[in-house]
Amino acid sequence: MSEQIKQITAEFLAHRHQLMSFIYGLVRDHQIAEDLFQEVWLKLAGALEKSLVIEDQAKWCRKTAKNLILQHWRDQRNAKVVADSALLEFMDFAELAFEETQKASERRGALQECLKALPEKSRQLLVLKYEQELSIAGIAEQARQSTAAVIKALLRLRQALAVCVEKKLKLQELGL
């Protein structure tokens, strides 16, 4: 199995719960949801065989699932659940909003871990700037440093925190 197929398979399975929740929430039948999930996988595998470039696999799979659900409903005209593409668009939007909230929560958690790892002096600078909302001049006065030194220290701290957060998120993504 090529490395690319392994990676795509791992990503597909990592989003299984979200995709299955999306599908089941609309069809309300475990067996049908599982069948549709497997159809999404088959369509993804077919797209990969055709060397189709997929930028955002999770989004592509949701869109494919949405189309399969619409087809399922068309095939089941006598079903009790009646929905249209507008409802599916809303569900898709709700799913994306949930993902963004989850990502923001993960970022906040990573940031908290990175902040705890900073030296006390660095944390104090951040408290003065972001909690006490002091001006650069005010921070320089309290820290007994020049304004240029405070500006440079804050810039370096923000850069270091950004790198730390991205590293922690990447490690979480890899399951480490």
Q: Which pLDDT belongs to residue 172?
A: 82
Residues 22 and 67 both lie in one domain: yes
pLDDT tens-place values along the chain, 176 residues long: 577 778 888 888 888 888 898 888 888 889 999 999 999 999 998 888 888 888 888 889 988 999 898 888 887 766 555 556 666 677 777 777 777 777 888 888 899 999 999 999 999 999 999 888 899 999 999 989 999 999 999 999 999 999 999 999 888 877 76
3-state helix, strand, coil in the chain (%, to 5): 80, 0, 20
Same domain for 70 and 19: yes
Q: How far is Cα of residue 126 from the mean position of the Cα atoms in its chain?
A: 27
Other Cβ atoms less than 10 A from the Cβ of 167: the count is 12
- The pLDDT, as a whole number, for residue 11 is 83
| The pLDDT of residue 79 | 53
Q: How many domains does the chain have?
A: 2
- Whose CA is closest to 27, among 97, 61, 75? 75
CA 27, CA 69: separation in Å to the nearest integer? Answer: 7
Q: Answer for the pair 94, 87: CB distance below 8 angstroms, yes or no.
A: no
Q: The domain spanning residue 150 has which CATH number?
A: 1.10.10.10
CATH code for the domain in which residue 24 is found: 1.10.1740
pLDDT digits (tens, 9 = 90+) for 134-171: 999 999 999 899 999 999 999 999 999 999 999 998 88
The span from the CA of 33 to the CA of 49, in Å, is 24
Q: What is the pLDDT of residue 82?
A: 55
Would you state the pLDDT for residue 113? Answer: 93
Q: Could you tell me if 47 and 55 are in contact, meaning their C-beta atoms sit under 8 angstroms apart?
A: no
Rounded CA-CA distance 168/103 in Å is: 13
The answer to whether residues 76 and 147 belong to one domain is no
Both 157 and 112 in a single domain? yes
pLDDT at 8 (0 to 100): 82
